[in-house]
Each structure stands twice: as structure tokens, then as C-alpha cells.
Amino acid sequence: MIRIAVDLSGSEKGPAEVLNGAILARQEGNLEIILVGQSSAVAGKDLAGCSFLEAPLAIPMSEKVSRELLRNQDSSLFKIVRLVQEGKADAAVSGGNTACFVALATTLLGTIPNVERSGIAIFLPKMSGTTILIDAGANTATVSKHLISYAVMGNFLHQAIFNSEKPGIGLLNVGEEETKGSDLYRETHLLLKEDRRLNFIGNIEGHDIFDPKVDVVVADGFTGNCILKTIEGVVEDFASFLKREIVKKGLEDEPAVAEILGKFLQRGDFAEYSGGFLMGVSGLCVIIHGRSGAEAHRKAILRARDAAAGNLMSRLCPP
């Protein structure tokens, strides 16, 4: 039985969404869920077989990382990571304060050999499969060796999840030429080019992210997070436009149109791909969007379950 610790305070939509998502996930089987949060969130609720652990402190999304925060054992984020550290949970899932989640995971679990900074690896759908983007926001103060480790971890993750042999690694930059970008990116390009472990395809630009040849996109956390939020915003805006135009033309009841629209909305819904792995720490941690609702939490929990069941951590060779 796979055990997943879930942060009840990890959603801007409220703990009810997290609880509903956890209950739905548990129905899928081979899963024990430990809900961690404030007792008021579950008072009078049917937990449907999920266990509960009290955590009186919910860390606000705006809270900055501090020594006091990292030492405070009353927060739900601290407790879900501690459960993984103690071997009482196989994975931790939260849509709460990302910076604090990353800091606590790094502090309590430590990093794997040869990795100084963790990175968030997220999955982006495309016509030909899925692209992994790393880092999506864990580390904004980046140096070249961090980007190299992201490339290596992204490479192993793609191989482990998608059974690929030599995933194409692209370095996100402002141009394809080796001379483009800052000193950081020029140096990283040279190091990636010389790394025989990787199938480095060179610099890529933003429009190449969904190209079939690109399997892993390497970026610093600031850029990666901006890319992620931009993609989400564009998809949501275009989906609203498409629905409005279909209704305007009276086509919403046409079966073919409704089917196509449904497929588009499903493919563009970030809940479909919710759950990014915090790569580089010595434990399985899944980070999801703070705006995630029940369905996003359900899928993130199941992603954590599948990763744990597949021994993902042991399969990810250290760089």
C-alpha cells in the first residue's frame, strides 16, 4: 500500500477541495492517504478512510522562508515532509507555499549526491507526447552547475517516466546560436555540449518548447516559472474565446463541435497535468498549483502514488 501525505492547507480554493480530491484519489486503490492540516477543515466530514494528522499552522502563500519557519514543527508543510523523512509516507503532496515547501524538503530530506539546488520538473502536453520543463520555480538564483544538474535529472526523469532512451535536451535561450544569452547561458551551453551523458540538441527558443524533437527544457527557476504561468494564461484565455465564439454562433449543441471543444478543454486544463516533481531532494515531493481544485489534487496524488509504486526515486540515478 502506497502512503501519501497531503497538505490540507495547500490550496487557495480551501481545504474542502483538497479533501474532495483526496477522497476521489483513494477510490482508485492501492493508496493510503494521510491528511495533514487544521482539525476545523475536517470537522464533521466523512474522511472516507483517509487518516488525519493535526497541524495547527497553515503557512500563508505570501510567507517568506526564515529559520523560524523551518524550525516550526506545527505547520502542515513541515509535517508532510517529516512523514516522508521518517518513512511514514512514501510521498508528500502540496499546493501550498512553494518556496517554503522547497526549503523544508531540502532541509529535512537533504539533496541527492552532486546536486546543490533542487528543481521543479513539470509536464507540458504537446501533439507528439510530453515535454518536461525544469526548473519551474524552485531556484531563481542559478549558476551553470545547477542548470547542468537540471538537465541530467530531467534526462533521467524522462527516461524513467516515458521509457525513452535518449531524450532531446534543450537549453531555453533567446536564440539558437551558441553565442546568444548571458554569460550564464553561454557557459551552460558549452558544458552541456561537452556532457556525453546527454543528448543535447542545443539552445531552443520559446516557440520550440512543444517541438517534437524537444523532450526536456532546461531553464532557471525564474524563467521557467514565467513560462509555466504564461502557458496557463494563454490556454485559459484562448479556451474562453473559443467557447464564447461557439456560443455566439449557436454551435454549442452540435455533437462534433462539443466533442472537439471538450477535447481541447481537457488537453488545455492544467489539472490534467497537475503535479510537478521536486527533483534533487532525497524523497518524493509533488508540488501543484496553488489554484488547484479537487480534480488537480486527485491527479497529483495519483501521480505521486504511481511514482512511488514504480520506485521512481531509486530509478533516478544521481547526476
- The pLDDT value recorded for residue 204 is 97
Average pLDDT across each block of 10 residues of the chain; the chain has 319 residues. List them in order.
Answer: 94 91 91 95 88 93 87 94 97 94 95 89 88 93 95 92 92 93 95 95 95 96 92 85 87 83 74 80 92 89 90 68
Q: Where are the domains of the chain?
A: 1-110+281-319, 112-278
CATH 3.40.718.10 assigned to 1-110+281-319: yes
Q: How far is the C-alpha of 226 from the C-alpha of 222, rounded, in Å?
A: 6
Give pLDDT tens digits for 239-263: 888 888 888 888 878 888 888 877 7
Identical fold for domains 1-110+281-319 and 112-278, yes or no, is yes
What is the reported pLDDT for 318? 46
The Cα–Cα gap between 84 and 26 comes to 19
**Domain spanning 112-278 has what CATH number?**
3.40.718.10
What's residue 218's pLDDT? 98
Q: Check if the beta carbon of residue 38 is closer than 8 Å to that of residue 8.
A: yes
- E strand spans, 116-215: 119-126, 129-134, 168-172, 199-204
Q: Which residue shows C-alpha cell 533542487?
A: 118
- What is the C-alpha to C-alpha distance for residues 278 and 255, in angstroms, rounded to an integer? 41
Q: For position 247, what pLDDT does the model report? A: 86
Which pLDDT belongs to residue 10? Answer: 83
> In this predicted model, what pLDDT tens digit does every residue of 229-241 receive, in sequence order?
898 888 888 888 8
Q: Are strands 276-279 and 285-287 parallel, antiparallel or unpaired?
A: antiparallel
Question: Coil, strand, or helix at residue 312?
Answer: helix
State phi, psi for 271 to the nearest 5 degrees: -65, -25
pLDDT for position 34: 97
pLDDT of amino acid 273 = 64
- CA 253 to each of CA 236, 247, 249, 268: distance values in angstroms, whole numbers, following the listed order: 22, 9, 11, 21
Farthest-apart Cα atoms in the chain, separation: 62
